[in-house]
Amino acid sequence: MKKKSVSSIRQMKKRGERITALTAYDHPTARLLDEAGIDLILVGDSLGMVIQGRDSTLAVTMDEIIYHTRLVARAVHQALVVADMPYGSYHLSPEQAVANAIRVVKKTGCDAVKVEGGSDRVSVIRALLAAEVPVMGHIGLTPQSVKRLGGYKIQGRQLQDIERLITDAETLQEAGCFSLVLEGIPHPVGRIISRKLEIPAIGIGAGPHCDGQILVFHDMMGLNEAGTFRFVRQYAQLAELIRRSLTDYQQDIRTGRFPSLEESFPLEESIEAQLEEIYGSYLEDEQT
Ligand code: KIV
How much of the chain exceeds pLDDT 90, in percent?
Answer: 96
- CA–centroid distance, 214 to ligand 1, in Å, is 8
Residue with the smallest CA separation from ligand 1 atom 5 is 44
The type of residue at 106 is K
Nearest to 125 by CA among 171, 192, 68, 62: 171
pTM of the model: 0.96
pLDDT score for 285: 86
Q: Would you say the C-alpha torsion 88, 89, 94, 96 has a positive or negative sign?
A: positive
State the pLDDT confidence band at 119, using cuts at 50, 70 and 90.
very high
Domain layout of the chain by residue ranges: 6-240
- CA–centroid distance, 280 to ligand 1, in Å, is 62
- CA–centroid distance, 248 to ligand 1, in Å, is 34
Catalytic-residue membership of 183: yes
State the pLDDT confidence band at 225, using cuts at 50, 70 and 90.
confident
pLDDT score for 3: 98
- The number of residues in the chain equals 288
How much of the chain exceeds pLDDT 70, in percent?
Answer: 100
Q: Which residues line ligand 1 (CB under 6 A)?
A: 23, 42, 44-46, 84, 138, 181, 183, 204, 214, 216
pLDDT score for 68: 98
Residue with the smallest CA separation from ligand 1 atom 8 is 44
Superfamily of domain 6-240: Phosphoenolpyruvate-binding domains (3.20.20.60)
Q: What is the pLDDT of residues 226-248, one digit of tens each?
A: 777 899 999 999 999 999 999 99
Active-site option among 163, 170, 174, 183:
183
State the pLDDT confidence band at 288, using cuts at 50, 70 and 90.
low
121: DSSP letter? G
Q: Which helix (H) or strand (E) holds 113?
A: strand 112-114
State the pLDDT confidence band at 286, using cuts at 50, 70 and 90.
confident
